[in-house]
Structures are given as C-alpha cells and as structure tokens.
Amino acid sequence: AASLFRGQCCGGRKSEDSALGLESMADLLYLVLGYLSIWSQMEQQELDQVFMPVFSAMSWLRLLYSLRGERWLGLRLLPILSAVRDTWSFFLVTVLCLASATHAYFILNPRGEDPLPIYSAFTHTVRLGIFGDFDLFEYQGQDTTFAVDATGEWVPNDPVPDEIGSFSFVYLQVIFFLTGVGITILLMNLLIGVLGQNYEIHTDRAQVLFVRARARMLLEHRSRPQARLSRLHRKLRSKRARAKDPEATEKGNEMSACHLCTAVVVLLCFLPVMFTVIGSRHWDGVMGPARRRVFRHKTLTFLLFLIFPVLLAMSLAVALPVALGLMSFWLLGFRIEGMQYAMNLTIFRVFGNEPASECTIYAMVRTESGVDELRGMRTDLKDKMQKLEDVLQKQQKAHKAPSDSPFIDALMVGFLGFGV
C-alpha cells in the first residue's frame, strides 16, 4: 500500500511491486482491524465482539500463509491456493445462479411472516442449492403440525398444498426442482471436477510456484523500511572505511605475540557457543567481523582477557539450554545443522559464511505455458489422438476390404498379370 501511494502520488517508478493486489489489500485490512481491535479492547474489560473475532481469524490465516516459504508445507499449500484462485469464475457463475433462484423465491414470498424476507429467501436457497439441507414443507412456507391419534400418540400431520394455493405450489415446485438439479447436482459436481483438474495442473507446477513464492517473500523483506535503513547504514559505513588511510589500517591489523595469545584465550571462552548455537562451519561468518573489530584494539582485548572466567560462564549458561533444545528437536527428527542455519540466518543474518545482505539468490524457473494454455493443449492433444485413431481405423478397414471380396481379388490379380 505504501509503495502504491508513493508510485501514484510521488511520481515513483512504476513496477509490479506497486500494484494493489489481493495480498496488499489483505495486509492493509489486517493492520486496520488489528489497530481497531486493540484500541477497542483497551477501552473495555470484556473481549471486543466487533473487530476482535475477524482479527483473530485473520491472524490464523496469516500464520498459515506465512508458512508458504517452508518446503515441508509450501509445496502442498501453494497448489491448493492456486487451484482455488483459478476457480473464481466458476464461483461467480454459482453466485449468479443462486441470486436468480433467491430472487424468484423472494417474489413468491411463501414465508410472509419472516421479519427479514430477503435473508430468509437467501438462506433457504443456499441450504437447498449448496448444502443440500432442506425441508420441502418449510421451503413451501408451511410447518408440520402434530395431533393426537386414537391411541393417544402424537403423530405428524403434513400440510396440504391447498393452504398456499395451487399456483404458488406449482411455482415453488418448479423452482425447487430447478435449483436442486441445476445447482446441487450439476454445478456442485462440476465444481469438484474443476477443482480437481486445477489442483492436478498446479501440483505439476508446485516447484515453480514454491520458488516464485520464496522470491516474492525475499523481495518483500528487502522492501521493508528497516531493511532499507540497514542498507543505507552499510553504504555510509563502507564510504567511511574507504576514506581511511589503508596503510594505517594495515598497521592497526598487525598483532604482537602477546596480543595474539590474549586474543586466542578470549576466543576459547566462546567455544561452547560456537559448537552449539553457531556451529563450527559458520563460526567465521558470524564472529569474524566482531572478532576483527575487537581484537584490533589491544586495550579492549586485554580487558576481555581479565574477565575470561565470566565470559566462559556466560557462554556455558547460553550453550547448555540451547544444546538441550537442539537435542530434543533432534530426537523429533530435525537436523542440528538445519536448526543452526536457521538461528544464524534469523539472529545474526548470516547466510553460510557471508552476511545475508551481501548474498545474491538466483531463482531459476523454467518457462512454462499458462494454466489456460495447458488446458487448451490437453484438449488439442485429445482431439488429435482421436483423429489419429479414426484415421488408423479407416486405413485398417480399407486394407481389409479387398480381401473380403474374392471377385475383386481375382480382378486385381488379372490386371497385375496383364501388366506384366
């Protein structure tokens, strides 16, 4: 939404990122509802019943959608979302058919005592057309009564059509059968087939959808304000580093033997953290920049050497709970290297042994036809296969036809002999 405002009002460059899509509208609605629900909740002691239900439901859906970048769920979630997204046109057809049946039922108004006749007509039509849950007498605006028979038991007394008139009864029966056959049987079964076909098509493209979703998530994270401020800060810092005298930097990097020994002792304090939290493979990428900055100063290195026991105790205090947590997840089937990779990328922003901001991710996706083109290709292929089968059957019949007539075979032999 912010990118759209900047592009439209501030004359920014036009791109696909500034388009107001469904995801942007959902995020904007989520933020607005979150603000309104929190603001209304602060004014009262009881739970807010206006904005909080919608906000809590959207929170769960947002949690589900945020996991689309995980391989264990994204490859199965994205085909489902894409299949439902491609069925919007069918939903529009269904809604218009329901609207037509609702309008006809509302005009007849068999339940005239309802305080909300439009909503009552809509609910009865939806129950019949979508859910298949209906009571024919209730649909006709009649209620079944109970009476006591000769044995003293209560038996149902079904209403008769004369109570509502023969014309209204016939009209309601026609609408009932048209809605049941047209929507409940035809459209609902066709919806199952359309969803199944769309899901099959998008399942074949699951890897493509997954890579595109990850690339889009990376682009969204890169476009956040804090990420832009961080990149600006790094640019300014690199300019200041280039402005310094390189000779002075080289002199500052030179370490004496005593300074080197104290630095090694300080590094030994962080061995528990290195083997549990960071991992030996990513040690240089995580602690390398801080180590070079700290050990450049002899005084700071000597002070850290003096508090060597404190640093070792803190390192053990951090490493032991993390080690227990990693061990419990390892027993559940998770890989320790993968969990360390996730912690380094999330906490220290390190991808492998390099800062994540300096890495480039290339998303290579093969070019494929669109969904509509795939459907068209399948239909064309079926038609061509059917035509080829027909041609082969005709040729087979044509080859068999001369052998069925002895006279034609003898005539062909005579012609061949005369020609020779």
Please give the DSSP secondary-structure letter assigned to residue 335. -
Question: Band of the pLDDT at 78, cuts 50, 70, 90?
Answer: very high
Same domain? For 60 and 110 the reply is no
Give the residue among 334, 384, 241 at the shortest CA–CA distance from 343. Answer: 334
Same domain? For 61 and 82 the reply is no
Q: DSSP string covering 58-108, please?
A: HHHHHHHHHGGGSHHHHHHHHHHHHHHHTTHHHHHHHHHHHHHHHHHHHHH
Token pair listed for 393? 């059957």
Residue 404 covered by a domain: no
Percentage, residues of the chain above pLDDT 70 = 80
- pLDDT by residue (tens digit) across 184-234? 999 999 999 999 989 988 898 898 899 988 888 888 887 778 878 887 887
Query: In the beta sheet, which residues pair with residue 157?
Result: 145
Query: In the beta sheet, which residues pair with residue 355?
Result: 350
Among the candidates 168, 203, 222, a domain finishes at 222
Same domain? For 97 and 172 the reply is yes
How far apart CA 409 and CA 420 sit, in angstroms, is 17
pLDDT of the residue at 369: 54
Residue 390 covered by a domain: no
Percentage, residues of the chain above pLDDT 90 = 18
Same domain? For 81 and 216 the reply is yes
Would you state the torsion angle of the CA atoms of residues 394, 400, 401, 403, taken in this order, to the nearest 10 degrees? 170
What are φ and ψ of residue 11, in 5° steps?
70, 30
How far apart CA 364 and CA 368 sit, in angstroms, is 12
pLDDT of the residue at 371: 52
Same domain? For 208 and 89 the reply is yes
Q: In this predicted structure, which of 60-64, 252-256, 388-392 has the lowest mean pLDDT?
A: 252-256
Same domain? For 44 and 160 the reply is no
Say how far residue 25 (Cα) sits from the centre of its chain. 15
Same domain? For 28 and 145 the reply is no
Residue 186 covered by a domain: yes
How far apart CA 214 and CA 19 sit, in angstroms, is 19
How far apart CA 65 and CA 85 sit, in angstroms, is 14
- What average pLDDT does the structure give for the chain? 78
Phi-psi map region of 256: left, alpha, beta (phi>0 left; psi -120 to 50 alpha): beta
Residue 345 contacts residue 359 (beta carbons within 8 Å) = no
pLDDT at 60 over 90: yes
- pLDDT by residue (tens digit) across 322-348? 888 888 888 887 888 777 777 777 777
Residue 82 covered by a domain: yes
Amino acid at the residue 411: L
How far apart CA 272 and CA 269 sit, in angstroms, is 8
pLDDT of the residue at 97: 94
Q: Model's pTM, two decimal places? A: 0.58
How far apart CA 3 and CA 14 sit, in angstroms, is 10
Residue 345 covered by a domain: no
Same domain? For 87 and 52 the reply is no
**Terminal C-alpha separation, the chain:** 88
pLDDT at 178 over 90: yes
Q: Which residue has the higher pLDDT, 140 or 250?
A: 140
Among the candidates 172, 196, 222, a domain finishes at 222
Domain that holds residue 47: 20-67
Same domain? For 195 and 91 the reply is yes
Query: In the beta sheet, which residues pair with residue 156?
Result: 146
Task: Tell me the mean pLDDT in the region 161-169.
Answer: 80
Residue 241 covered by a domain: no
Same domain? For 35 and 63 the reply is yes
pLDDT of the residue at 364: 63
Q: Are strands 350-351 and 354-355 parallel, antiparallel or unpaired?
A: antiparallel
Please give the DSSP secondary-structure letter assigned to residue 20. -
How far apart CA 420 and CA 418 sit, in angstroms, is 5
- pLDDT by residue (tens digit) across 341-359? 777 777 777 776 677 667 7
183-199 b/e (C-beta count within 10 Å ≥ 16 → b): bbeebeeebeebbebbb
Same domain? For 43 and 164 the reply is no
Residue 342 covered by a domain: no
Residue 168 covered by a domain: yes
Q: In this predicted structure, which of 258-262, 368-372, 383-387 has the lowest mean pLDDT?
A: 368-372
Question: Band of the pLDDT at 251, cuts 50, 70, 90?
Answer: very low
Token pair listed for 396? 């087979």
Domains in the chain, number: 2
- H helix or E strand, kind and range, residue 416: helix 406-419
